[in-house]
Amino acid sequence: MNQNNGMQKRMLIMTVVVFVFFIAYEFLVLKPQQEAKAAQAKQEQTTTQKATPEANMVATDVSGNPIDMSKSVEALSSKAIASSEIISVITTARNIIEIDNLGRIAQITLLEAKYKDEDGNKIKLFEANQLRPLEVRFEDKNVNEKAFKVAASSSAATLNASSSKQELIITQNLGETVLTKKFTIYPDGHYDLNVTSTNNKNFFITNGFRPNVLADMYAVHGLMAQLADGTLQTIEDGDLDKIENLNGIKFISNFDRYYATVIYNFEKTLAISLMPDAEANAQAFIHAKDNITFSGYAGPKNFKDLAALNKELTHVIDYGWFTFIAKPMFLLLQFLQSYIGNWGWTIVALTILIKLVLYPLSYKGMVSMQKLKDLAPKMKDIQAKYKDDKQKQSMHMMELYKKHGANPMGGCLPLILQIPVFFAIYRVLLNSIELKGAEWIWWVHDLAEMDPYFVLPILMGASMFLQQKITPNTMQDEMQKKIFQMLPVIFTFFFLWFPAGLTLYWFVNNVFTISQQYYINKIFERKRAEKQ
């Protein structure tokens, strides 16, 4: 096999691995892997609890001083306890917050029109039997048992905070101990909270399990914590196999693809113990001693809403490994949308802008492929002439490349350099709830959902096929050619279920790549005609 053919093969393999198998990984590998990890973690957790129920239970407070948690093992490892009795309903401009008779947030219903499920109903963040936000668990076993039997009382059965902040007090009288939660609820749906217990009874409070509205394989979902130095620690669902203690925490967030439950304090940091549930998902318990103050938010991971609460809360939006590129790209997308007004056309504009910035790289790669195509007959002659002497074959190939200014890696390098940009825009369009309910044109009513008529995936596949047809290809191996020809079909299949916004980006990207390739092909055709 000659050098160019080998280079083409490596380029093909790279393309398939990076794109096709990356997408296939999301569908075919990730979920089974997560289930296997969860099963293993569950088994290990059960074994550990039977053997040493107090293992790894040493935690520390915000100052780094040890806290004896040995008395709290049973309390913290209790299963989620459901309650159907609601004692207070708070209505804000953006949501309805229901408080149950254990003083927890039982449910949050989103009121904004765009937050609806597949059946057109208003989105509710929590499932029936999950760990509830603001659930308190006492270190003292006896007090803890009472806390899950004695009903709390509320200062108001209903509260309207849609236009101004309101206060609510939840009281739970446990005999020798009284637990009090003092809320200040704001029209935007967030709240401030002070929780106290009398008689120096230490307790822990949780932000609950994550919202379970959309936890698919496309995006990361689990728990995220921001440390005092600004670094982020993320634990995906199914990945926590033992108790972990974190100090100096600014915020803790349990999240799915679009929604999060967040507790934060940027003035005085929090000390937290993370405990795995039966499926190795992370549950956060905040060390409160007998008094704690913080703020909370549960709802969409909308950039502007989070920034309005605190700029650091925008870190709740996770873009994965390419955050350093993805976050600026999202800010650019948001900036363009403020002028264009339509998220679909904003994606088109962003795609064109990216193509213009990367045009020098694309141009070099396309020119290099054209030169290699022109040199293919001479390369074939060298291959035949020195078929028994690979060293001479390689030497003459290099001389040929040098003489004609061709670079065998010229077609690969531009693609490699563009991969981080692709993954960044992939994550931006995948994780941006701003696209939720955003219309583009008449048949696409939600850019965050799949194209209902599969128009964009089919156009994307057709444009990819056309792109292949006009792109120079010197592959001589028939198997390579067949695999390469199958890529449009494979991509079309995967993109049938992808968000319309992401498919739109890829389609527009293909269209402009075709136009660039067509332009360069015409230039080389004129040059060939001039030489004849």
Q: Which pLDDT does position 27 carry in this prediction?
A: 47
Higher pLDDT, 71 or 484: 484
Percent of the chain with pLDDT over 90: 48
- Compute, in degrees rounded to 10, the torsion defined by CA atoms 36, 41, 46, 49: 180
pLDDT score recorded for residue 32: 52
Residue 31 located in a structural domain: no
Check whether residue 375 and residue 302 sit in a common domain: no
pLDDT attached to residue 71: 39
Q: Is residue 40 pLDDT above 80, yes or no?
A: no
Q: What is the CATH number of the domain that holds 159?
A: 2.70.98.90
Query: Rounded mean pLDDT of the chain?
Result: 82
Q: 314 and 361 in one domain?
A: no
Q: Decide if 443 contacts 452 (C-beta within 8 A).
A: yes
Domain identity same for 371 and 481: yes
Q: What tens digit of pLDDT does each residue of 166-203 get?
A: 999 999 999 989 999 999 999 999 999 999 999 999 99
Q: Does 47 fall in a domain?
A: no
Residue 294 counted as domain residue: yes
> Which residue among 318, 345, 371 closes a domain?
318
Question: Smallest Cα–Cα separation from 183: which of 301, 97, 80?
Answer: 97
158 pLDDT above the threshold of 70: yes
Task: Please indicate, yes or no, whether residues 257 and 331 belong to a single structural domain of this protein.
Answer: no
For residue 288, give its domain range.
52-318
Per-residue b or e along 322-341, where b marks 16 or more CB atoms closer than 10 Å to that residue's CB: bbebbbebbebbbebbeeee
> Is residue 15 included in any domain, yes or no?
no
Instruction: Provide the domain count of the chain.
Output: 2
- Predicted local confidence at residue 415, as pLDDT: 65
In the three-class reduction of DSSP (H, G, I as helix; E, B as strand; rest coil), residue 398 is classed as: helix
Residues 478 and 513 occupy one common structural domain: yes
388/340 same-domain check: yes
pLDDT higher than 70, residue 75: no
- pLDDT score recorded for residue 352: 93
Same domain, 277 and 373: no
**pLDDT (tens digit per residue) in 122-152:** 999 998 788 999 999 999 989 999 999 999 9
Range among 100-114, 387-401, 411-425, 430-444 with highest mean pLDDT value: 100-114
State the pLDDT at residue 419. Answer: 74
Q: What is the reported pLDDT for 1?
A: 39
What is the structure's pLDDT at 56?
A: 33
Tell me which amino acid residue 201 is: K
pLDDT at 413: 61
- Last residue of a domain, which of 291, 318, 345? 318
> How large is the average pLDDT for residues 34-61?
40
Percent of the chain clearing pLDDT 70 (strictly above)? 80
pLDDT tens for 444-498 read 999 988 999 999 999 999 999 998 888 876 555 667 677 778 888 988 998 898 8
Residue that is last in its domain, among 318, 351, 372: 318
pLDDT value, residue 398: 84
User: Is residue 35 a part of any domain in this protein?
Assistant: no
Residues 183 and 88 in one domain: yes
Q: Mean per-residue pLDDT for 239-244?
A: 91
The residue among 84 and 2 whose pLDDT is bigger is: 84
**Cα–Cα distance between 473 and 373 in angstroms, integer?**
7
- Say if 37 falls within a structural domain: no
User: How many residues make up the chain in this entry?
Assistant: 532
454 plus 503 within the same structural domain: yes
With a cut of 60, say whether residue 79 has pLDDT above it.
no
pLDDT at 63: 43
Could you tell me if residue 200 is inside a domain? Answer: yes
In three-state secondary structure terms, 515 is helix
- As given in the structure block, the two tokens for residue 433 are 């709830």
Give yes or no: residues 471 and 414 share one domain: yes
pTM over 0.85? The answer is: no
Average of per-residue pLDDT across 47-68:
39
The confidence band for 250, taking pLDDT boundaries of 50, 70 and 90, is very high
- Give the confidence band of 417 by pLDDT, cuts at 50, 70, 90: low
CB 361 within 8 A of CB 418: yes
Q: What are phi and psi of 475, to 5 degrees?
A: -65, 135
Distance CA 481, CA 483 (A): 6
CB 222: neighbour CB atoms within 10 A?
20
Count how many Cα atoms sit within 13 Å of the Cα of residue 81 in the half-sphere of its side chain.
19
Confidence (pLDDT) at 136: 95
Comparison of pLDDT for 92 and 431, the residue scoring more: 92
Judge if 393 and 292 occupy the same domain: no
Q: Categorize the per-residue pLDDT at 390 as very low, low, confident or very high, splitting at 50, 70 and 90.
A: confident
At residue 514, the pLDDT reads 92
Give me the pLDDT at residue 474, please.
Answer: 58
Residue 314 and residue 334 in one domain: no
Is 90 exceeded by the pLDDT of residue 288? yes
Q: Does 395 fall in a domain? A: yes
pLDDT of residue 2: 43
